[in-house]
Chain A
Amino acid sequence: MIPQHLLSIDQLDETAITRILDTARGLRSVTDRPLKKLPTLRGRTVCNLFYEPSTRTRVSFELAAKRLSADVINFQADARSSVSKGESLKDTAWTLEAMGVDALVVRHPSSGAAAQLSRWVRARVINAGDGRHEHPTQALLDLFSMRERFGTLAGLKVVIVGDIAHSRVARSNVKGLVTMGADVTLVGPPTLVPPQVESWGAKVSYDLDAVLDDADVCYLLRVQRERLGAPAFPTLREYAALWGLDRARAARLKPDALVMHPGPINRGVEIAADVADLPRAVILEQVANGVAVRMSLLYLMLGGAEEPPGGGR
């Protein structure tokens, strides 16, 4: 039920996601204690193998592992060195494994890198973002944040706005949300919303204003204009005007609707500067929940059978 490696959110069914979120809820109380530590993973070693600079995700995993008393190694590597010179991904993984690593938390710019690693090592592999493929722990913490606010994910209307095509966050979130029975709509310029995403069970719209009024959650993705080849839209100004969440659009949201963003934020592009600071923006809450969800995963994937303190929901 909890897979050996977490490579894609596809591996988790509704029961598994619910268990991870329930466990995270129990563990969140640890974060609020003065002594923020559990002995569960004492003697275990977790390695953060990061081929992309991502301080927030790395720190989140590091804190999660340390709060469960695991030893943590941070290995920052350069993805470009892989083929031309330096050590290959496989050799690096083998080296770390030889040092007795129990879990590899991998962030890599190449889609599939975590899946490939999982075939080469015995250690548990957790995908902390692979290329534009998936970022399952981000999705789990987003699901957690939404469930904390709304009590349930079933029937929740979630609008995800932005660069769906190149977003690992979008992929994992859509599939996780659909698994949990949420109603997902993907919005953005057609250049960034490939029609194939409908096969994930999400609806597609190119008109943000048409879908905003009903939304329980408005989830904004970071947008970059410069991509390989032709740009996806004329200017950032035009993007902001058509698909950005400005104050006027934010005002149309339902009173209890959430505004979410995986960070880092492009203020003034996908989200207006003042909207990001509105109280309903739970962006910082997402960050805090990230530690609890990652503790939950490490606990369930590496820990014993014992119940976590605080219990489930």
Chain B
Amino acid sequence: MESEISGADLSVSIGGLRLKNPVMTASGTFGYAKEFEPYVNLHRLGAVVVKGISLEPRAGNPPPRIVETSCGMLNAIGLENVGVDRFISEKMESLQAVTVPVVVNILGDTVNEYREIAERLVDVEGVAAIEVNISCPNVKKGGVAFGTVPEMAAAVTAAVKKVSSVPVIVKLSPNVTDVTNIARAVEDGGADAVSLINTLIGMAVDLRSRRPALANVIGGLSGPAIKPVALRMVYQVAQTVSIPVIGIGGIETAEDVLEFMLAGATAVQIGTANFVNPRASEEAVEGLARYVTEQKLISIREMIGALVLS
């Protein structure tokens, strides 16, 4: 293992979870971490977040599932995953070898499903925190996404929080009129932190075939194209709640991380950039260390919410 980067204090704390630096990887963009081992020294990251896990295995959507758009991409993976039981029996072992906190992202069709997944993860060694993806349709409420109705978002949060013994991060959907209402609701529901943003719903058309570019017609937009929207939402939410905020959306470099921290993020997640540069997360950590040293900061925490407004 390589030695830690310089002496810069990059550590941050998320609802009781201590991270040696604020750089996490975003769910669905980092596999189960193992895929990135040839490229990244995983031990240098703040935390890894694994692909979203549901109660039962899901096959996901038909192809094509991804299409590139200007400075971004649309995906309609359809939450393909092996299900919580196989996740625990097949994927946890290699994750336990990762020395940084592993955050398990969960999703469900009903409040009960979320609760049940969280229950099965209790006492599983190596699960440092749970991230709740609430951008999923609530099948009991006509398919309205949990993350778009404050009461539903709060109910899922409370259900997961009640059974979990680790910090619970709630991942917010940007596809709402006022994200601060949802953020407040999940804070009231007991969330230890919020992360945002999930992908923005979008669409692309292939003129030549006159078909939608994705088999699912609509998909989630991610990558540099969404960064301004993400920054705005992180800023608004950080003004609203008192729990830590994890910034996500179009982050590639240490400069991006620092911008999100100024806007109020305590930590960040890197998503789509991992596909382009598998070393993006580690390089961001290196860049943060250089910045802290160059700027003679005592700690990176000085950057959180330090946006100069006047």
- Decide whether A and B assemble into one complex: no
